[in-house]
Amino acid sequence: MDIKRDQQLTVMCNIVEKKIIQANAKRARTNVSVFLRQLGLTGRIVVKTLPKEVLQFTGTLNHMAANLNQIAKKRNKGDDLNTLDRALLNQEVRGLQSIVKAVKNYLT
């Protein structure tokens, strides 16, 4: 059973210290509350590292999202898709299908 965290602790700092703490928390891939609590309780921070494959996967998805967003913007303006846009859209759909298949294979 988890004990509810219902107690607040305020830390006073200047704006530069605040920005440094926020940046350090972000670098540790966590939020400021977890970062400061972990540091205060253990005296150290465990940085969450993601496997190379996950980082590559995220990069691929971000690239696909950017391409799909460009196509959506064009369609939302009422512009028709040209041959290149349609080819790009089909390529991204095939790419997403491939990613879904790879994730399913990984999980089974």
Tens-digit pLDDT profile for residues 40-76: 999 988 777 777 877 788 888 888 888 888 888 888 8
Best-predicted range by mean pLDDT (21-35, 43-57, 71-85): 21-35
Where does the pLDDT of residue 82 fall: very low under 50, low under 70, confident under 90, or very high at 90 and above? confident
Residue 34 burial (CB count, 10 A) = 13
Closest CA to 28 of 42, 11, 53, 46: 46
Confidence bin at 93 (pLDDT 50/70/90): confident
Q: Which residue has the tokens 């349609």?
A: 86
The arithmetic mean of pLDDT across residues 23-38, rounded, is: 91
Tokens of 98: 């491939």
> Lowest mean pLDDT: which of 16-25, 33-42, 46-55?
46-55
What per-residue confidence (pLDDT) applies to 47?
Answer: 75
Q: What is the mean pLDDT of the chain?
A: 86
- Per-domain boundaries in the chain: 1-48, 52-107
Token duo for residue 27: 């670098």
Q: What is the pTM of this model?
A: 0.46
* Averaged pLDDT, 14-18: 96
Q: If residue 54 lies in a helix (H) or strand (E), which one and from where to where? A: helix 52-76
